[in-house]
Structure 1
């Protein structure tokens, strides 16, 4: 079994000061692919609603740093390039706060 400390090493922990409301305001551009409520309407794009917050921070940071490739990485790298660490934390907090099934 993996300890919580080990998980923290695998996925950077989002800041406790993350603001889901600020993330929602920043998420408008994300809606084109990931859906207005984080539920993608196009099967090739992932839904973000209810996703693990630390995972979202890790993924967006990897896109920003061009460490994540394949699939739609070029698009995501461009989108993430302009995000600050606070923007990433806020977006992650917002999507993690949404119900996974969109309900």
Structure 2
């Protein structure tokens, strides 16, 4: 139960910080390759660290994407590949990627 509360607070904070740090969908273009290999393939399932379906990100709420990336970066959300990717992203990178994927047609 505690992790859900922490994550919900993270989402709320990300939504608030997103307003202060506006994402630029066009600036995300040169950052997308790290996402598209998994999150851009309909029906894709990964086998590391366990087999599970990988969600498509197009149309997802920008605040949720930022909160999830921040949780991977700080280690409160666990997935080795996503943690490594999130640690390589600045707050602006996260906001840009979130702005890109928040577009319904992506």
Fold match, TM over 0.5? yes
**CA separation of 1:82/1:50 partners in 2, compared to 1, >3 Å: closer, same or farther?**
same
Runs in 1 of length 4+ with deviation above 3 angstroms?
7-10
Q: CA RMSD in A?
A: 2.1
The answer to whether the 8 A contact 2:72-2:82 is kept is yes
When the two structures are aligned, how many residues end up with a matched partner? 88
Indicate yes or no: 2:62 matched with 1:78: no
TM-score w.r.t. the length of structure 1 is 0.74
- Structure 2 residue runs without a partner (length 5+): 1-7, 46-52
TM-score w.r.t. the length of structure 2 is 0.72
Give, in whole Å, the separation in 2 of the partners of 1:61 and 1:55.
10
Tell me how far 1:8 sits from its aligned partner: 8.1
Give the number of the structure whose residues are more often helix, by fraction: 2
Name 2:5's counterpart in structure 1: none
